[in-house]
C-alpha cells in the first residue's frame, strides 16, 4: 500500500493555492476599459511608428483570425472610405479589448485540457493493455488506474470552463457560443457559423460533453472495480469482464475522442476544419499519458514501492514515448503539409496566424516534441536510465503543453499572447490538483495487482 | 591452410546447449563457434560475444541519406533552376521545405536500411555462390553443434562435454 506522503500533499496544495491566486490575478487584470486599451494601443503605435501601419496590420490579422467575419467585411470597407475610419478605430480597440479579456479564460482552459488529456490518454492506453492482453504491463496497471482517477473531475472542469465562458463570461473561448453570431438580424451575423449551428450550439455541446465524460468514467469505474475484485477472487471472471469492457471502451473511445477534439478544440476556430484533427489530438494525448505513466512509475520505484518493476519496463515505456512522439510528428506534419501545399485560403489561415504570430512556439514545439525525443530516446541503453527518461519526459510534457497552447490561443487571444502569470499559474493550479487526485487514488489500493493472470509474466519481464 | 584438431559436440536441445555453454565457459575452454538451426535467445550473452554495432552504423547511414537528399534537392530545386512551379516558393530551401520532407524521409530510410544490410553481409561474409561453411548438415534442421579447439587433455574435454548432455562428440581435423 502506498501512503500519500505529507510532503507531496503539502506541495500539491501549495501549488493549487499559488495557482489559484495567479488565476484570480489574471482575471482581475484582464478587465480593461475601452479607454485603457485605447491608451495602450496609442502607446504601442508610438513605439511601432505610424498609426496607418498598425491599422493595416490589424486588418490582415482580423482577416486571418476568422473569429469575426462581419467585422472583417467592415474593416475592408473601412479602408476604402474615410468616414469609416472612426468605426474602424473603435472596432480595432474593441477587438483588442476582447483578446485581452480572453487571455485568462484561454490560459485556464489550456491547462485544464492538458491535464484532462493526460488522464484520457492513460485510460486509452490502459484499455489497450487489457484488450491486447499485454504481458509486460500488468505491474503498471495500478499506476495507470491512479492517473485515470483525474479523468472525471478533470474532464468536468474542462466542460465547466467552456460553459462558464458562455454563461458568465463573454464567450471568451468559443466565439460560436455568441447567439448574435447566428442571428440574421444582427450585424455580427456569420453565415458560416450559422450553417454549423446544427452541431455547434451550447445545449448540444454540453450534452455531448456529458455523454463523453459519462462513457469514459463508467468504463474507468467498472474497470477499477473489476481490477480490485480480481485481487480477492479465486477465478478469472473479473479479468475476463475487464477484457470485454476494455474492447468495447476502445470502440467508444475512438469515436468520442474524435468528436471531443472537434468540440473542445477545433471549434475555437469555427471557420476552420481538418479531417485528421482527432487523431492528431489523440497522438499528443497518448504521448503525454505514457510519459506521465513513466514519470510516476519511476517516482514510485525510487521510493521502493514497485519492487518488481525493472529497467525493462522503463525501457518499454520509453519506447512508447519515442514511438508516439514520432507518430505525433507524423500527424502534425501530415496536417500541416497538406494544407501548406494546396494553400486553399479557407484552410490555410489557420497556419498563417500561427506562423506569423506564434512563430517560436509553433516551430519550437516541433523541436521539443520531435527532435529531442527522437535523438534522446534513440539509443536503447538510454531508455533504461531513469533520470534520462525523466528529463526527456519533462521536455515532452512541456512541448505538448505548447502544442495545446498553439491550438487554443491563436483563436482567442491572437497576437496578444504571452506565457505569463495567467498561463503559468493555471498550469501550477492544475499540476497541484492532478498530483493531489492521482496520489490520493494511488493510496487507495495496493500498487500491484495480485491475481492478474499475467502478473507473473510481468514480474519476470525482461527485454 | 593450417590443420588443427577441433571437437564437435552435438546437442539436440537448446536449453541443454545453453547449460553446456555456461559450463564449458566456466571450465575456461574457448568456444570457437556454435551452429544452431534457429536463434537461441541469450546464447550470445552466455558465449560472451560483444554486442553488435550494426545499429550505430545504421544511424550514421541514415544521417548520410538525409544529407544526400537535402543537398540534392537544394541544388536541383533552389540553386540550379529555381522555377516557379505552381506558386511554390523556391527562393530558399527552408521556404519550400515541407514539399521536400517526404523525399528526405524516404532517402534517410533507404540509406539506413540498405547500407546496413550490405554492412551486415560484408561483416558476416555472406554473398551468392559462397561455399557453405557447415560442419554438419543436421545443424540446419534439429541439432546444435559446439566447436572447441583441442589444446591440452582431449579426454578430459570429451568427458566434460558428455557430462553436459552432448549426444555425440567427434574429434575432427579442421581445415579452415
Partners of residue B59 in chain A, C-beta under 8 Å: 378
The continuous run of DSSP H or E covering A1 comes out as: none
Looking at residue A317, its pLDDT comes to: 96
Q: What is the b/e burial string over A294-313, where b = at least 16 CB atoms within 10 angstroms of the residue's CB? A: bbbbbbbbeeebbeebbbeb
Q: Which helix (H) or strand (E) segment is B164 a member of?
A: none
pLDDT class for B157, splitting at 50, 70, 90? confident
Contact criterion met (CB < 8 Å) for A340 and B98: yes
Q: pTM of the full predicted structure?
A: 0.89
- In Å, what is the CA distance from A23 to each residue of A286, A317, B75? 28, 34, 52
B94 CB within 8 Å of a chain A CB = no
Per-residue model confidence (pLDDT) at position B172: 86
Residues of B in contact with A333 (CB under 8 A): 98, 101
Of A333, A341, A378, the CB nearest to B59: A378
Nearest Cα of chain A lies from the Cα of B43 at a distance, in angstroms, of 14
Query: Rounded to a whole number, what is the distance in angstroms from the first to the last CA of chain A?
Result: 27
Contact residues on chain B for A378, CB-CB shorter than 8 A: 59
Q: How far apart are CA A203 and CA A362, in angstroms?
A: 33
pLDDT the model gives residue A84: 64
Half-sphere exposure of A34 (CA within 13 A, CB side): 5
Q: B152: pLDDT confidence band, cut at 50, 70 and 90?
A: confident
Query: Mean pLDDT over all residues of chain B?
Result: 91
- B151 has a pLDDT exceeding 90: no
Check if B122 contacts A (Cβ < 8 Å).
Answer: no
Q: How confident is the model at residue A274, as a pLDDT?
A: 92
Query: Using a CB-CB distance cutoff of 8 angstroms, which residues of chain A are in contact with residue B101?
Result: 333, 337
What gap in Å lies between CA A30 and CA A25, rounded to an integer?
A: 8
Rounded mean pLDDT of A118-141? Answer: 96
A336: closest CA of chain B, how far (Å)? 8
Lowest mean pLDDT among A30-44, A119-133, A342-356: A30-44
The number of beta carbons lying within 10 Å of the beta carbon of residue B137 is 9
- For the cut 90, the answer to whether the pLDDT of residue B71 exceeds it is yes
CB A22 within 8 Å of CB A429: yes
B86 phi-psi bin (left φ>0, alpha ψ -120 to 50, beta other)? left
Residue of B nearest to A339 (CA): B98
pLDDT above 90 for B75? yes
pLDDT of residue A94: 86
- What is residue A80's predicted lDDT score, i.e. its pLDDT? 52
State how far the Cα of A113 lies from the Cα of A434, in Å rounded to an integer. Answer: 12
Question: Are A341 and B98 in contact (CB < 8 Å)?
Answer: yes
Query: Is some CB atom of chain B closer than 8 A to the CB atom of A341?
Result: yes
- Residue B35 — φ and ψ, nearest 5°? -110, 125
Mean pLDDT, residues A59-83:
47
Closest B-chain CA to A336? B98
Distance from C-alpha of A309 to C-alpha of A463, rounded to nearest angstrom: 12
Q: Which residues contact A358 (CB under 8 A, 6 or more apart)?
A: A406, A409, A410, A417
C-beta atoms surrounding B138 within 10 Å: 16
Lowest mean pLDDT among A66-70, A346-350, A427-431, A458-462: A66-70
The DSSP-derived string for B33-46 is EEE-SSPPTTHHHH
Structure confidence at residue A69 as a pLDDT band (50, 70, 90):
very low
In angstroms, the separation between the Cα of residue B56 and the nearest Cα of chain A is 9
- A340 with B59: Cβ contact below 8 A: no
Which residues in chain A have Cβ-Cβ distances shorter than 8 Å to B99?
337, 341
Mean pLDDT for the stretch of residues A233-246: 94
Q: Measured in Å, how far apart are chain B's first and last C-alpha atoms? A: 7
Query: Quick one: which of B142, B119, B109 has its CA closest to B54?
Result: B119
Q: Which residue of B has its CA nearest to A335?
A: B98
Tell me how crowded residue A417 is: count the other CB atoms within 10 A of its CB: 21
Give A374 to chain B, closest Cα distance, Å.
12
- Residue in A333, A343, A380 closest to B101 by CB: A333
In this prediction, residue A55 carries a pLDDT of 44
The region, left, alpha or beta by phi > 0 then psi within -120 to 50, assigned to residue A363 is: alpha
**CA atoms within 13 Å, Cβ hemisphere of A327:** 17
Report residue A115's pLDDT band, with 50, 70 and 90 as the boundaries.
very high
The pLDDT assigned to B156 comes to: 86
The answer on pLDDT for B2 being more than 90 is no
Residues forming beta bridges with residue B9, ordered by sequence position: B146, B169
Q: Say if A249 is an interface residue toward chain B (CB within 8 Å).
A: no
Q: How far is A333 from chain B (nearest CA, A)?
A: 8
Helix (H, G, I), strand (E, B) or coil at B104: helix
Does the pLDDT at position A35 exceed 90? no
Average per-residue pLDDT for chain A: 90
- Would an 8 Å CB–CB cutoff place A343 in contact with chain B? yes
- A340 neighbourhood in chain B, CB within 8 Å: 98
Between A76 and A364, whose confidence is greater?
Answer: A364
Chain A contact present for B59, CB below 8 A: yes
Q: What is the pLDDT of residue A57?
A: 42
Q: Where are the domains of chain B?
A: 3-51+131-175, 54-123
Element (DSSP H or E) covering residue A375: helix A372-376
Residue B87, Cβ density class (10 Å: 0-12 exposed, 13-18 middle, ≥19 buried) = exposed
A346 burial type by CB count under 10 A (0-12 exposed, 13-18 middle, 19+ buried):
exposed
Band (pLDDT 50/70/90 cuts) for residue A60 is very low
Q: How many Å apart are CA A257 and CA B41, to the nearest integer?
A: 41
The ipTM is 0.89
How far B96 CA sits from the closest chain A CA (Å)? 9
Q: Answer whether A343 sits within 8 Å of B87, measured CB to CB.
A: yes
Cβ A421 vs Cβ A18: under 8 Å: no
pLDDT at A75 over 60: no
pLDDT given at position A442: 95
Cβ-based contacts under 8 A for chains A and B: 12
Give the Cα separation of B154 and B148 in Å (integer).
Answer: 10
> Average pLDDT of B77-104?
94
The alpha carbon of residue A230 is apart from the nearest alpha carbon of chain B, in Å, by 34
Of B55, B59, B101, the CB nearest to A337: B101
Mean pLDDT of A254-278: 94
Please report how the helices A69-80 and A51-65 are oriented relative to each other, as an axis angle in degrees rounded to 10.
Answer: 150
What interhelical angle do A69-80 and A85-131 show, nearest 10? 150
Please tell me the distance from the alpha carbon of residue A369 to that of residue A389, in angstroms, as a whole number.
Answer: 14
Q: How far apart are CA B152 and CA B147, in angstroms?
A: 15
Question: Percentage of residues in chain A with pLDDT exceeding 70?
Answer: 92
Could you read off the pLDDT of A359-381 as tens digits, one per residue?
Answer: 999 999 999 999 999 999 999 99
Q: What chain A residue is nearest to B56 in terms of C-alpha separation?
A: A379
Q: Cα–Cα distances in Å, from A70 out to A77, B20, B55, B101?
A: 11, 83, 58, 38
pLDDT at A70 over 50: no
Out of A341, A378, A380, whose CB is closest to B99? A341
Model pLDDT, residue A402: 96
Report pLDDT for A405. Answer: 96
Give me the residue from B55, B87, B98 closest to A336, CB to CB. B98
For A109, A189, A196, A348, A349, the CA distances from A271, given in Å and listed in that order, are 20, 13, 9, 11, 10
pLDDT in tens, A419-442: 999 999 999 999 999 999 999 999
Confidence of residue B150 (pLDDT cuts 50, 70, 90): confident
In 3D space, the residue among B66, B112, B120, B76 whose CA is nearest the CA of residue B96 turns out to be B76
- The string of DSSP codes covering B17-85 is HHHHHHHHHHTTPPP-EEE-SSPPTTHHHHHTPPPP-HHHHHHHHHHHHHHHHHHHHIIIIIII----S
Residue B101 at interface with chain A, using a CB cutoff of 8 Å: yes
CA atoms within 13 A on the CB side of A14: 6
Task: Determine contact: A167 vs chain B, CB below 8 A.
Answer: no
Q: Give dist(CA A449, CA A398) in Å, integer.
A: 32
Single out the residue of A246, A290, A251, A282 nearest to residue A129, CA to CA. A246
Domain range B3-51+131-175, CATH architecture: 2-Layer Sandwich (3.30)
Look at B98 and A378 and tell me if their CB atoms are within 8 Å.
no
What does the pLDDT read at residue A38?
A: 85
Is the Cβ of B86 closer than 8 Å to some Cβ of chain A?
A: no
Number of other residues whose CB lies within 10 A of the CB of residue B152: 8
CB contact under 8 A, A333 and B98: yes
Gyration radius of chain B's alpha carbons: 26
Contact B59 A333 (CB under 8 A): no
Amino acid at each position: 500500500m502506498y501512503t500519500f506522503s505529507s510532503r507531496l500533499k503539502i506541495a500539491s496544495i501549495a501549488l493549487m493555492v499559488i495557482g489559484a491566486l495567479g488565476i484570480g490575478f489574471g482575471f482581475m487584470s484582464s478587465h480593461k476599459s475601452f479607454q485603457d486599451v485605447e491608451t495602450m494601443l496609442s502607446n504601442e503605435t508610438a513605439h511601432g511608428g505610424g498609426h496607418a501601419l498598425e491599422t493595416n496590420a490589424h486588418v490582415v490579422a482580423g482577416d486571418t483570425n476568422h473569429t469575426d467575419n462581419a467585422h472583417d467585411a467592415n474593416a475592408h470597407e473601412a479602408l476604402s472610405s474615410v468616414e469609416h475610419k472612426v468605426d474602424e478605430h473603435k472596432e480595432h480597440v474593441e477587438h483588442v479589448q476582447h483578446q485581452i479579456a480572453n487571455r485568462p479564460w484561454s490560459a485556464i482552459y489550456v491547462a485544464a485540457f492538458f491535464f484532462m488529456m493526460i488522464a484520457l490518454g492513460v485510460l486509452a492506453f490502459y484499455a489497450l493493455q487489457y484488450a491486447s492482453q499485454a504481458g509486460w504491463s500488468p505491474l503498471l496497471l495500478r499506476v495507470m488506474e491512479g492517473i485515470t482517477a483525474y479523468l472525471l473531475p478533470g474532464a468536468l472542469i474542462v466542460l465547466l470552463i467552456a460553459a462558464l465562458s458562455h454563461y458568465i463570461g463573454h464567450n471568451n473561448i468559443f466565439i460560436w457560443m455568441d447567439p448574435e453570431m447566428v442571428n440574421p438580424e444582427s450585424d455580427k451575423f456569420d453565415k458560416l457559423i450559422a450553417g454549423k449551428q446544427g452541431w455547434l450550439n451550447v445545449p448540444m455541446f454540453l450534452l455531448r460533453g456529458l455523454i463523453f465524460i459519462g462513457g469514459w468514467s463508467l468504463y474507468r469505474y467498472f474497470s477499477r472495480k473489476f481490477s480490485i475484485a480480481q485481487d480477492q477472487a479465486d477465478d478469472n471472471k473479473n479479468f475476463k469482464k475487464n477484457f470485454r469492457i476494455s474492447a468495447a471502451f476502445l470502440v467508444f473511445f475512438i469515436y468520442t475522442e474524435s468528436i471531443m477534439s472537434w468540440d473542445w478544440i477545433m471549434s475555437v476556430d469555427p471557420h476552420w476544419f481538418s479531417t485528421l484533427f482527432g487523431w492528431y489530438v489523440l497522438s499528443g494525448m497518448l504521448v503525454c499519458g505514457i510519459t506521465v505513466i513513466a514519470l510516476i512509475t519511476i517516482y514510485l520505484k525510487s521510493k521502493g514501492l514497485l519492487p518488481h518493476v525493472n529497467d525493462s519496463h522503463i525501457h518499454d515505456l520509453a519506447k512508447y514515448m519515442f514511438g508516439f512522439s514520432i507518430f505525433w510528428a507524423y500527424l502534425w506534419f501530415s496536417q500541416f503539409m497538406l494544407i501548406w501545399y494546396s494553400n486553399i485560403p479557407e484552410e490555410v489561415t489557420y497556419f498563417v496566424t500561427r506562423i506569423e504570430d506564434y512563430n517560436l512556439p509553433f516551430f519550437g514545439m516541433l523541436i521539443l516534441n520531435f527532435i529531442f525525443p527522437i535523438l534522446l530516446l534513440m539509443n536503447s541503453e538510454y531508455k533504461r536510465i531513469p533520470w534520462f527518461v525523466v528529463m526527456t519526459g519533462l521536455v515532452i510534457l512541456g512541448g505538448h503543453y505548447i502544442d495545446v497552447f498553439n491550438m487554443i490561443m491563436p483563436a482567442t487571444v491572437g497576437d496578444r499572447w504571452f506565457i505569463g502569470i495567467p498561463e503559468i499559474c493555471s498550469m501550477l493550479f492544475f499540476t497541484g490538483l492532478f498530483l493531489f487526485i492521482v496520489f490520493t487514488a494511488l493510496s487507495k489500493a495496493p500498487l500491484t495487482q495480485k491475481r492478474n493472470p499475467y502478473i507473473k509474466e510481468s514480474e519476470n519481464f525482461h527485454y | 591452410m593450417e590443420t588443427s584438431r577441433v571437437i564437435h559436440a552435438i546437442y539436440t536441445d537448446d536449453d541443454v546447449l545453453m547449460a553446456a555453454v555456461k559450463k564449458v565457459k566456466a571450465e575456461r575452454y574457448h568456444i570457437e563457434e556454435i551452429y544452431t538451426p534457429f536463434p537461441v535467445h541469450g546464447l550470445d550473452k552466455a558465449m560472451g560475444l560483444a554486442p553488435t554495432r550494426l545499429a550505430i552504423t545504421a544511424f550514421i547511414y541514415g544521417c548520410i541519406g538525409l544529407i544526400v537528399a537535402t543537398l540534392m534537392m537544394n541544388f536541383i530545386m533552389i540553386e540550379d533552376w529555381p522555377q516557379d512551379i505552381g506558386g511554390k516558393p523556391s527562393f530558399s530551401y527552408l521556404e519550400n521545405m515541407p514539399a521536400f520532407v517526404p523525399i528526405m524521409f524516404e532517402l534517410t530510410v533507404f540509406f539506413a536500411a540498405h547500407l546496413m544490410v550490405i554492412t551486415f553481409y560484408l561483416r558476416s561474409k555472406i554473398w551468392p555462390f559462397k561455399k557453405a561453411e557447415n560442419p554438419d548438415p543436421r545443424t540446419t534442421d534439429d541439432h546444435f553443434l559446439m566447436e572447441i579447439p583441442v589444446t591440452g587433455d582431449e579426454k578430459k574435454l570429451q568427458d566434460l562435454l558428455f557430462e553436459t548432455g552432448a549426444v555425440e562428440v567427434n574429434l575432427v581435423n579442421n581445415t579452415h
